[in-house]
Amino acid sequence: MKAETNPPIAGHSTDQSQAWPRSIAVIGAAGLIGSGVVYQLALAGIGTTIHLVDVKQNVARAHAIDISEAQILAGVSVPRLNVVDPAASDSWEEVDLVIVAASAPEVPGGDRRDFLAANLRLLRLLAPTIEKLSGHDGVVLLLSNPVDVLAECLHRITDISPDRILGYSINDSVRFQAAIAKELGLEPHRVRAQVLGEHGKGQVPCFSSVTVDGAPVALTASQQENIRQDIDGWFHRWSALEPGRSSGWTTPLGVVRMITMMARGETFPAAVWTAGARGLDEAFIALPVTMSAGKAKVADWQGSPEEQAALVTAAASVREAAALNLSQELSHESGRPGQPTQ
């Protein structure tokens, strides 16, 4: 089964497929990614209530006012937006879906893993909030980088069941799709392609399942190398612009599409717990996923032997990075300040 990376944009319907999620909490709702997610969800009419969680309550409230007025323009009456006081945890209710958009600022010229230490400290601070909001049945969707390693860390430092933790990875497939289209001189919407494995240097572009207009396409070794260079260089090209931010438009829209696929039981790529996946050690890497009864399951997938081997390497890399950084983080835990801001 192949992950669909370009489903139709979710609309504000009352379709029963959208009965889940009813309640959503966005942690880091004052930041670019978090507010973008709230905006896209609100205009798509997904859920009945979206809780905006951020220590910058004034900014979160401003976003809520602005987005609520955008809903009026769009003719959307739900979901209702609710700004949550991070200090009033006793009053919080459990939600169906917790979206963690809080992140440390990006550093120009760095690698995605350069963010790991700072984002891990932030994740540890947020872990009690994530556990409280997700409760016994809520799904947790991480957006912060490196998403697969952080998902592995969240599993290790909390009691949240690993099959209720997912990491967003659709952007990798979008960039792969764009690179293929560029190499072939086509419009990107004609291409279907997916990236699995580890976000960043451990990504596994699945050339074995590329299609154009629905038909399989075999790319030459030279074409594959050009495409690899394109997607491997994406982060360097972005970082060289020194924007001081992440993908503030693509990610929120991708989150809406991902949630729509989750609700409909469709297949999508995401960082998921690999337990039960043939030949893979237990870890979080991007694989085709389906949701069933609120649990993430790895979908059937057949890749080339090279792709399968690369996934094994990616899983080992994520496990090693999580173990090493958790150990280092604990050894330097005392005296570390930290306030989640976005």
- Here the CATH number for the domain that contains residue 183 is 3.90.110.10
Sequence-distant (6+) residues with CB within 8 A of 99 are 24, 25, 26, 27, 34, 37, 141, 143, 255
Give the burial class of 7: count Cβ atoms within 10 A of its Cβ; 0-12 exposed, 13-18 middle, 19 or more buried. middle
pLDDT confidence of residue 130: 96
Domain boundary among 169, 197, 227: 169
Residue 54 maps to a domain = yes
Residue 100 maps to a domain = yes
Domain boundary among 117, 136, 169: 169
| 152 and 89 within one domain | yes
- State the CATH number of the domain containing residue 26: 3.40.50.720
- The three-point CA angle 308-311-315 to 5° equals 145
Residue 331 maps to a domain = no
pLDDT confidence of residue 22: 97
SS3 readout for 275-315? CCCCCCCCCEEEEEEEEECCEEEECCCCCCHHHHHHHHHHH
Residue 85 maps to a domain = yes
First to last CA, the chain: 36
Sequence-distant (6+) residues with CB within 8 A of 46 are 10, 12, 18, 21, 24, 79, 256, 259, 260
| 23 and 148 within one domain | yes
pLDDT in tens, the chain (342 residues): 333 433 332 333 334 345 899 999 999 999 999 999 999 999 999 999 999 999 999 999 999 999 999 999 999 999 999 999 888 878 889 999 999 999 987 665 555 556 788 899 999 999 999 999 999 999 999 999 899 999 999 999 999 999 999 999 999 999 999 999 999 999 999 999 999 999 988 999 999 999 999 999 999 999 999 999 999 999 889 988 988 888 899 999 999 999 999 999 999 999 999 987 878 889 999 999 999 889 999 998 889 999 999 999 999 999 999 999 998 876 666 555 444 433
Backbone angles phi, psi at 215, to 5 degrees: -105, 135
Q: Tell me how many domains the chain contains.
A: 2
Residue 334 maps to a domain = no
| 83 and 63 within one domain | yes
Residue 337 maps to a domain = no
Dihedral sign, Cα of residue 155, residue 158, residue 161, residue 164: negative
- At which residue do the structure tokens 């154009």 appear? 212
C-alpha pair distances (Å), 111 with each of 90, 209, 228, 293 = 38, 28, 17, 36
Give 191's strand partners: 212
| 102 and 31 within one domain | yes
| 185 and 161 within one domain | no
| 316 and 186 within one domain | yes
| 210 and 279 within one domain | yes
Residue 341 maps to a domain = no
| 119 and 214 within one domain | no
| 147 and 183 within one domain | no
Residue 265's CB: how many other CB atoms inside 10 A?
10
Residue 282 maps to a domain = yes
Domain boundary among 122, 145, 169: 169
289 vs 296: CA distance, rounded Å: 7
| 283 and 251 within one domain | yes
Structural domain for 105, as ranges: 16-169
| 288 and 204 within one domain | yes
| 257 and 151 within one domain | no
